[in-house]
Structure 1
Amino acid sequence: EFTGFYKAVSSWLTFAFKFKFQAVLAATLTALSLAAVLFVGGRRLFGRVFEADPSVEDPSYLSRLSVAFWSTLLPTLAVGVFLVSTVFFFNYYNVLRGDIGVFLNALVAVIAVVFCVNRLTNAALEPRLPNWRLIPVETGPARWLVRLTTAMAVVIGVNNFLSVVNDKMGSPLSLTIARSFVATIIVGVILILMGLLKPFKAPDGSWRPWPVWLRYTAVALGVFTIATALLGYIGLAIFVSLQVVVTGTILVTAYIGFLSARAISEEGGFANTSIGRWLSTNSSYEESALDQLGLVVSVAINLMIVLVFLPLILLTWGFQPGDIQAWGYKLATGLTIGSVTISVTGILTGIIVFIIGYFLTRWFQGWLDGSVMARGKVDTGVRNSIRLAVGYAGVALAALVGVSAAGIDLSNLALVAGALSLGIGFGLQNVVSNFVSGLILLAERPFKVGDWIVAGDISGTVKKISVRATEIETFQRQSVILPNSNLINNAVGNWTHRNKLGRIDIKVGVAYG
């Protein structure tokens, strides 16, 4: 079988270099250029993010997590781009024939998995830099863990590649069973060796093993794989071996990403990153704003991890790309639960439409106030009333359009509106009274911003009129928030309602004589 495979590959190489040499060279150079642009550009832009700095003696946990995650993801993406683009351009230039194309696709998958496993174990264990190590194991055991994990990935990868070769060449079933049997036995032995390894050193100098649950899990998986192979269940044994390598790599990478996102979301976590320090130096962001931005970044990282790694896990467990695509399309376009349809695309569209409407309203408010009314010498109080009215109307309109764009039928909110009306009638009377009073104040304008008014025991200058309350600044520089209903239902004196002139009565004492 090996002789037949060698003849097939050598005949294709002879054909490619004799008749398609320029196409092979162009395809290879193009793929290398794409990978180089991604890798070199990533190193220049995000070098500090995914490269461990040997000069740092005590890096933070967030820095170690970030380096481990990105130093696995970015180089793997670069290698993946090179491999996928190579296959694509070979097909584009008609370099591949049927059987060689199948062999090359299988080889690409093997190289990608082995490279990713090797990068992940090196990033998490860092045999050369103990201070950047995520798991506090000793240097010697760390090197052995990297070797054993890489060897396990190589065994599984070579076995899968040879299974594709045997299937394409119509090899005997006995050869396939024998090859898979040897591969599963090797993987089982490696798992047992990893479980029995003693990676920790106690203060007294003795070596300590893994935690009990981890040690027993690794040994149990190894024994199960060997036992199933010896009992003749080769398919089950090879499936378990494959999932240990592939699914384990995906889950560990995703878990490191989740830990990084959680560390960024903690108070002060984002500010301690290189990007946070750059923003703190080159912008006006305060610590609270950086913390809020860290929460946004954390949510974005979690969402990216779910969108990237969940389909990969489903594919490794036998789901077809069409099934995943159908589920994604159904989730995006509408998921029906009872009589309610939830559409992720619709919700995102509604949010985007509302944000656009909100910013358009704010822009129109500024343009109307600063360009139109300011040039027209409109009174300050009138300008404030018009600006507030336009703002409330614009935000309300943007909310209605956003709800409609999200696919929510407004007629379905009738029951909710009725319940809210009942609640407003009983429990929110004061709020509604103040709201309506605010609208009356903005419309009638018995006083405006800048007027000197007297309301009961409060005397001062009006600073702001909103729909719920009015802000008054007394002559002692105290800000008083007065509900609008008090200003409508009670007498209010306005010293500057018509003009700035006023009369003050001064009592003068006169002697009787």
Structure 2
Amino acid sequence: MQTPSAFRRRIGQLLMAWMLCGALASGAAVPSALAQPAAPATEAAADFKTRLPQWQNALERAANRIAGGDLANTEYETLRADLAKIQQEVREAGAAAVAARDTAQRMLDALGPPPAQGAPPEEAGIAAERKRLSQTIAEVEGRTKQTELIVTRADILLRTAADQRMTQLTEQIVRRGPVPLLPATWAALPEQMSYVQERIGRAFGIVMGDGEWRERLYGLGALAALLFLVAWPVRRVLLRRYGHRALEERPSYRQRVVAMAVEALARCLVPVVPTLVLSGALVGLLRDAADAGPLTALVVGVSGGLTAFFLVTGIARATLAPDHPSWQLANLDPDSARRLVRRVPLAMVGLALAGTGIVLSEGMFTPPELRSITGFGTMALIAVSLLFLYPDHLWLAAPPPEAEGTDGCGCPDGEAAGPDVTLPPAASAVPEAEAKAEAEEAPPARPRVVGLRLRLLIGAVALASLAASGAGYLVGAIYASKLMLTTLVIGGVLLVARGVLRELLCVLLERGSGQVAEVRDIVIATDRGRRMLGQAGRTLIDGLLLTVAAFFLLPLTGMTLSEMKGLADGFLSGITVGGVRIAPGDIMSALMVLGVVIAVTRFVQRQLDERILGRVNMDDGVRNSIRMGVGYLGTTMAVLMSVGTLGLDLSSLAMIASALSVGIGFGLQNVVSNFISGLIMLVERPVKVGDWVVVNGLEGTVRRISVRATEIQTFQRASVIIPNSEFISKAVVNWTLKDKTTRIEIKVRIAYDTDARQVYALLLKIGYGHAQVLRNPEPIVMFRDFGPSGPEFELRCFVANTEHIIPVRNELRMRILEQFREHGIRMPFDQQTVHMPKVEAMLEALLTERRAQAGVPELQVVADAGKVVPLADTLTDRGPRTAT
């Protein structure tokens, strides 16, 4: 059996052998490692040379097609996709080239600078390797410049295509077509109507004449019936249990939001989802059929109209609650809400028919004259439908809550003047009937009208679209109407979603129990953190809803999905200003990383303090130092990770820091000094949390040590913020630095005629008699001095904790006073002799003269010791006297 020393020697030998083998292997691999990058670099160069002509030819074809003009939607999307693919491939090749250049540059730097002129030449292999690396770097830099050129050219082509596309859209909007009110336009109507009917009849004949298509349509009809049978009971259950219902008291805001969400879900999504499913299935089936374009346009138009109808009417009833005004969220007068809800379906029928007509005219390639006439009728239907909702009596605001049940002045009935108001005699003499008549003659307050500006804007757009279509500008009129109506529908839906999501966030933050509450308390335990999370959540909800609105509205402006994606990528990638790239995406990522790492740091601090340090018998100061150290480490890591996410060059930051060092040295020297002092306090711990300290005349308990300052709470419960440098550079009294055991001194003065040994014994007995006074060290009594009024004693005793000083001191003084009174021990007053010769002479002369005049003998007094003295001798004494 090997001894421990032999075993250790054996292990050491094995480790040395392993390290020697590794060194030999690495040394043998150096030449191969130097030669290894040559093969991948050669392959990358060959691949780049092969693909470069392909990229250039693709760019030439795209440039020629853009120069031809009149790009269709599908062609424009294909062109953008091809150019984006080329950009992606070229960027990848450029990134590979940059990586190869950096590798070659590091290897070249490892060879060192070339020999100076006149110096001995370097070894031939090193010189050849230096030449090869220099050529590689030059070649790779050339590839990098070519990739930058291709990317720039592709970006120019994309911008040119987008500008051309926008120009085409603008020309279409402002282009004037046939005027619908002219006789020439109506003259071509019969021929064009027959053409459209023929197309629609052919489409229906193809679909209905085929047995397979009929079976598919029958299957879709059965699916529609099944969905209806399932959705309708679900709708009734949701409305009955969670929707608007009669209650004795007005429901809270949260109850109204929940009921509104349930009503909107039942009245909107339940009919909308089957409609979209069926229409999507029909469009998918008709896509493979020949000459089925009119039928596809009909399906899309009808499904879009039904979807808009269900959404708007459902949200209107959910928000206005006409049958239960107490559940209303729109703050409208109940009568106005009921009238508005009755008119909304009629208006939506007109708008749905108008939208279906627009989709049909665009999808069936309707001839210009027929499209102009039907478009004018559609715009008229839209204007009439919107103006049907325009009257002010539909938008009267509800009275304020305090006005309910009042006399019109905002006060309850019979209490208009208030209990403490006394009317003048002239007013009190007015008969009651005359007062009522005056009240009836007074004009009633005019109710407030809601949404007047928005309704004026909508009405103006509707009338302008009607006038534009009547003048022949049908495309512009349709464009404005579609944008307006889609904005209204999407805005209403997203406002409802905003209220629901915000209320769900409030429920999450206010939930008192459950798994969600436990997870929330683990991540964020303080009320301040919850408020910050709530504000951040509301901001995030608004941002997401705005993104959704932009996703639906931007295509109406002529922007395609690829353009939207490119716009988002361009926004997130940022712009370059003065050689510095400002990327909102990187900034948001850095902020997210910073927030997540700091949140994790706070979570680790809290768990470490509560679950580990809290269960160990550890001093509070040590716990605070560990907690603060973890916080500083986490914050530093968060800052470094966020800087890395931003992609900032630390060398440039170092240059900026060196430039600012002088200013920091002069302007922020106190801040830096306090920061360093705080670190010293956390490491050296001359003062820690919980200590009783006295600094600069301020006495209190240390509550918190932060980066810049330390918080001290005085015994008056006042918080004092003291810079950390005060604790390092000045004298500080720390009562609890090493030990909390503290001595108490109580001074006592007695009369000279008192038995000193009796007083000594009583004080010692009182010290030993207190339960919180320590026996080791034991209490002692000191005969301090002979004072001017009597002997002075001092009771000295120790307590285990500084927190007991004040109550123990008070209790000892109370017992001393009680024992002294019980044993007749007197504590004298301070005695002082004041000599005023002139005043004494004047008083003595006055008293002598008065006695001589009255024939009265000299007045005497009995002093404290029973001695009879003249009155004049007592003028400068203090204490009680008895006259005789």
TM-score scaled by length of structure 1: 0.74
**Which of the residues 275, 293, 296 maps onto 2:507?**
275
- What aligned pairs does 1:8-27 form with structure 2 within 5 A after superposition? 8-9=203-204, 11-13=206-208, 15-16=211-212, 20=216, 24=220
**2:352 maps to which residue?**
154
**1:457 maps to which residue?**
697
Question: Relative to structure 1, is the Cα distance of residues 314 and 57 closer, same or farther in structure 2, using a 3 angstrom cutoff?
Answer: farther
Matched, 1:142 2:340: yes
Question: Relative to structure 1, is the Cα distance of residues 175 and 425 closer, same or farther in structure 2, using a 3 angstrom cutoff?
Answer: same
Bigger mean CA offset, 99-108 vs 87-96: 87-96
- What aligned pairs does 1:456-495 form with structure 2 within 5 A after superposition? 457-458=697-698, 462-472=702-712, 481-494=721-734
**Which of the residues 324, 332, 335 maps onto 2:572?**
332
Matched, 1:180 2:420: no
In the TM superposition, what whole-angstrom CA distance separates every residue of 1:193-227 from its partner, at most 9, and x where no partner exists? Answer: 44467536898799999987567555544543443
Bigger mean CA offset, 448-457 vs 487-496: 448-457
Unmatched 5+ stretches in structure 2: 1-195, 398-442, 746-780, 792-884
Alpha-carbon distance, 1:392 to partner: 0.8
Alpha-carbon distance, 1:425 to partner: 3.1
Matched, 1:317 2:557: yes
**1:55 maps to which residue?**
247
**1:396 maps to which residue?**
636
**2:308 maps to which residue?**
113
Letter in structure 2 aligned against 1:151: V
Question: Relative to structure 1, is the Cα distance of residues 210 and 139 closer, same or farther in structure 2, using a 3 angstrom cutoff?
Answer: closer
Q: Quick one: distance in 2 between partners of 1:386 and 1:165? A: 71
Question: Relative to structure 1, is the Cα distance of residues 236 and 5 closer, same or farther in structure 2, using a 3 angstrom cutoff?
Answer: same
**Which of the residues 364, 370, 374 maps onto 1:166?**
364
Letter in structure 1 aligned against 2:507: I
Alpha-carbon distance, 1:4 to partner: 4.8
Question: Relative to structure 1, is the Cα distance of residues 151 and 480 closer, same or farther in structure 2, using a 3 angstrom cutoff?
Answer: closer
Letter in structure 1 aligned against 2:628: L
Letter in structure 1 aligned against 2:566: A
**1:267 maps to which residue?**
none
Q: Is the 8 A contact 1:434 1:469 kept in 2?
A: yes
**Which of the residues 81, 92, 97 maps onto 2:289?**
97
Whose Rg is larger? Answer: 2
Matched, 1:433 2:680: no
Letter in structure 2 aligned against 1:275: V
Alpha-carbon distance, 1:401 to partner: 0.7
- Which gives a bigger RCO, structure 1 or 2 (Cα 8 Å, sep 6+)? 1
In the TM superposition, what whole-angstrom CA distance separates every residue of 1:377-418 from its partner, at most 9, and x where no partner exists? Answer: 776644543442232122111221122213344445457645
Bigger mean CA offset, 454-463 vs 298-307: 454-463
Question: Relative to structure 1, is the Cα distance of residues 325 and 77 closer, same or farther in structure 2, using a 3 angstrom cutoff?
Answer: farther
Alpha-carbon distance, 1:337 to partner: 5.9
Letter in structure 2 aligned against 1:97: A
Q: Is the 8 A contact 1:462 1:473 kept in 2?
A: yes
Question: Relative to structure 1, is the Cα distance of residues 227 and 495 closer, same or farther in structure 2, using a 3 angstrom cutoff?
Answer: closer
Q: Quick one: distance in 2 between partners of 1:431 and 1:182? A: 74
In the TM superposition, what whole-angstrom CA distance separates every residue of 1:271-312 from its partner, at most 9, and x where no partner exists? Answer: 9x9838963688699987776555344323322320111222
Q: Quick one: distance in 2 between partners of 1:26 and 1:231? A: 47
Q: Is the 8 A contact 1:31 1:83 kept in 2?
A: no
Matched, 1:232 2:472: yes
Q: Quick one: distance in 1 between partners of 2:690 and 2:461? A: 78
Q: Quick one: distance in 2 between partners of 1:352 and 1:207? A: 48
Q: What's the RMSD between the two structures over aligned residues?
A: 5.1
Question: Relative to structure 1, is the Cα distance of residues 496 and 216 closer, same or farther in structure 2, using a 3 angstrom cutoff?
Answer: closer
Question: Relative to structure 1, is the Cα distance of residues 129 and 496 closer, same or farther in structure 2, using a 3 angstrom cutoff?
Answer: closer
Q: Quick one: distance in 1 between partners of 2:485 and 2:393? A: 21
- Report the secondary structure of 1:508's partner residue: strand
Q: Quick one: distance in 2 between partners of 1:367 and 1:190? A: 62
Bigger mean CA offset, 358-367 vs 326-335: 358-367
Q: Quick one: distance in 2 between partners of 1:144 and 1:502? A: 84
Q: Quick one: distance in 2 between partners of 1:427 and 1:296? A: 35
Alpha-carbon distance, 1:150 to partner: 0.7
Percentage identity across aligned positions?
Answer: 29
Q: Quick one: distance in 2 between partners of 1:324 and 1:368? A: 47
Bigger mean CA offset, 325-334 vs 59-68: 59-68
Q: Quick one: distance in 1 between partners of 2:703 and 2:450? A: 68
Alpha-carbon distance, 1:120 to partner: 3.9
Question: Relative to structure 1, is the Cα distance of residues 128 and 418 closer, same or farther in structure 2, using a 3 angstrom cutoff?
Answer: farther
Alpha-carbon distance, 1:510 to partner: 6.0
Q: Is the 8 A contact 2:712 2:719 kept in 1?
A: yes
**1:357 maps to which residue?**
597
Question: Relative to structure 1, is the Cα distance of residues 251 and 21 closer, same or farther in structure 2, using a 3 angstrom cutoff?
Answer: closer
**2:783 maps to which residue?**
508
Bigger mean CA offset, 354-363 vs 413-422: 413-422
